[in-house]
Amino acid sequence: MFAGKGGVGKTTCAAATALHCASLGEEALVVSTDPTPSLSHIFEVKEKQKPVRVAEGLYLAELGIDEVKQMWDEKFGREVYEVFSAFVSVPYEQFADFITSILPGLRDEFTVDYIRRLANEKRYGRIVWDTAPLGQTLGLLETPAMLSQHLKPAPRIYSRLKLSTKTRRSVLDIIKGWESLSAEDMYFLRNSVRFVMVTIPEALAVEQLESIVAEFAKFGFKVKQLIINNVIMDSSSEFLLTKAQQQRQYIELLHDRYHYMEIFELPMFPHEIKGVERLKDIEKSLFE
């Protein structure tokens, strides 16, 4: 899982990593759970089918709001609707739209669950997960803990509700289902996911990195790798030299602060990274 502040190069690094895995002969899937994904732009594909093959042994999938809604619908949608429709009268479609788009935590929960199920299927040798910028990612981590907190008083309330016979499971069973979903997803994040942080050598990014690493640690997720992206290696002009010198202090600070991590410095290229050929430059820098 590639995480970090907005615009630091998460998607670029995820795409290059997936390309590398595929070149080693692993069937790789690169999947984006960013609501405004850019993976398909990087790989220059237009097809909507998911997943789509983008290179030899490499597949791409973007998880949008529609897929999350569908997962919600399959797992809990109808039954939760039964519960809510005891209080309010709203058509199911509207209810599902509301739940899945307005409650960001729920979206994140299903996102993690989607990745977990993909991993369990073992159809791919490697799943490279490109996430949304910092804000959303933190929400994602908060969700399972939050869900179980809020569900604690729920059984007392829900057990009094009278439901129609259409509900297959009891309300308590639905809540238990939520709880075990959260627990499984947290277990998956703790034990099966390798977190890679991406940052750039600038004050704001370095500061935000500290809070996200702390947040990850709080949940028991250990970050072992850090990519410092956009490092200026060229000092052929005064402008570049000044910029490079300024970056150096942050790079040193990062090495110092995260000495227990494996740290990669990724140069800033003079062109934007678009298309497989350009991605190979990133791959080379990261893996050689």
Near ligand ATP by CB under 6 A: residue from 100, 229, 247, 250 = 229
Decide whether 141 or 171 has the Cβ nearer to ligand ATP: 141
Give yes or no for residue 11 binding Mg ion (CB under 5 A): yes
Residue 270 per-residue DSSP state: S
- Helix 238-257 × helix 203-218 angle, to 10°: 20
CA distances from 263 to 148, 184, 187, 228, 252 (A): 35, 30, 26, 7, 11
According to CB under 6 A, which residues from 53 to 112 bind ligand ATP? none
Bond into 270 cis (ω within 30): no
Give yes or no for residue 230 binding ligand ATP (CB under 6 A): yes
Give yes or no for residue 121 binding ligand ATP (CB under 6 A): no
Under 8 Å CB-to-CB from 8, ≥6 apart: which residues? 198, 199, 200, 205, 229, 230
Give yes or no for residue 244 binding ligand ATP (CB under 6 A): no
Give yes or no for residue 200 binding ligand ATP (CB under 6 A): no
In the list Mg ion, ligand ATP, none, the entry touching 230 (Cβ below 5 to 8 angstroms by class) is ligand ATP
Give yes or no for residue 126 binding ligand ATP (CB under 6 A): no
In the list ligand ATP, Mg ion, none, the entry touching 57 (Cβ below 5 to 8 angstroms by class) is none
Residue 91 has φ and ψ, to the nearest 5°, of -60, 150
Residue 152 corresponds to which amino acid?
Answer: K
- Smallest distance from the beta carbon of 282 to ligand ATP, in angstroms? 6
Structural contact between residues 62 and 50, judged by C-beta atoms closer than 8 angstroms: yes
- Binding interface with ligand ATP (CB under 6 A): 6-12, 34, 38, 133, 229-230, 266, 268-269, 272-273
